[in-house]
Chain A
Amino acid sequence: GAVVSQHPSWVICKSGTSVKIECRSLDFQATTMFWYRQFPKQSLMLMATSNEGSKATYEQGVEKDKFLINHASLTLSTLTVTSAHPEDSSFYICSASRLASSTDTQYFGPGTRLTVL
């Protein structure tokens, strides 16, 4: 299979602090990783596309200085929410696409629920 993990699964932080979320592909190398945000009962909104060794590509309206993405290797990408505020509280999900995949799909991590007090 293709397993993607995220850590932590949930986090509560105070307003103004920074939170780092890790996304790892456990049994395959990911050419590209994606970061999504999902508010309750809403769809997944793509925040950014992350390629190993290069700068992330952010979607329109997503602040790159607030949501820092680092893709250090073919199995790890990190999202840092800087100076978090209550409105950043959401479900953050990463996904990874597989090198030379025959199914053309993304494999999703279990998500990280962020609550900012």
Chain B
Amino acid sequence: GQSLEQPSEVTAVEGAIVQINCTYQTSGFYGLSWYQQHDGGAPTFLSYNALDGLEETGRFSSFLSRSDSYGYLLLQELQMKDSASYFCAVRVGSSYKLIFGSGTRLLVRP
């Protein structure tokens, strides 16, 4: 079977740092992606890790450890607009097929 685990909700204050973890068990692994989705909107791509290590893009960073089947998304200098749902997704095949986690709802408070 395929499963991705991530916390259902996280709350943090503006300006803080938050880490959203994702563990996965999938038949096949090409890479781990992160997507942001605001209520009523479509998912937008944040990052992709195919190899172990940390990828940094502005305020967002993503980490992957393939041996631990684990990754995380790190959001720094939180802003109110970062309140959204964040999904990890595993690419399971050469066809770019993605399996999504259940999503983490992030609430940023003033």
* Neighbouring A residues of B107 by C-beta, 8 Å: none
8 pairs from A and B in contact (CB 8 Å cutoff): A34-B97, A104-B33, A104-B48, A105-B96, A106-B33, A108-B35, A111-B41, A111-B42
- Judge whether A49 is part of the interface by a CB distance below 8 angstroms: yes
Cβ-based interface call for B103 (8 A) = yes
User: How far, in angstroms, from A93 to B98 measured CA to CA in the complex?
Assistant: 13
For window 28-84 of B, CB contacts with A under 8 Å fall at 30-31, 33, 35, 41-45, 48, 50
Which residues of B are found within 8 Å of A103, using beta-carbon distances?
45, 48
B98 touches A106 (CB 8 A): yes
Where chain A touches its partner, the secondary structure class is: strand
Query: Judging by beta carbons under 8 Å apart, are A43 and B45 in contact?
Result: no
Among all A-B residue pairs, the 3 with the closest Cβ atoms: A97-B96, A108-B42, A44-B100
Chain A residues contacting B103 (CB-CB under 8 Å) are 42-43
Interface centre among A34, A45, A93, A108 (most CB of B within 10 A): A108
Known: A43-B101, A43-B103. A105 touches B43 (CB 8 A): no
The total of Cβ contacts below 8 Å across the A-B interface reads 56
Q: Report if A77 contacts B (CB, 8 A).
A: no
Give chain B nearest CB distance to A79 CB in angstroms.
15
Chain B nearest Cβ from A58, distance in angstroms = 12
Name the residue of chain B whose CB is nearest to the CB of A40: B39
Which B residues form the contact surface with A (CB < 8 A)?
30-31, 33, 35, 41-45, 48, 50, 87, 91, 95-103
Q: Is A46 positioned at the interface, with any CB of B under 8 Å from its CB?
A: yes
- CB contact under 8 A between A93 and B43, given known A43-B101, A43-B102, A46-B98: yes
A105→B33 contact, CB < 8 A = yes
Q: Is the CB of B87 within 8 A of A43?
A: yes
Residues of B within 8 A of A105 (CB): 33, 45, 48, 96
A75 at the interface (CB under 8 A from B): no
Known contacts A104-B31, A104-B50; A109/B97 CB under 8 A: no
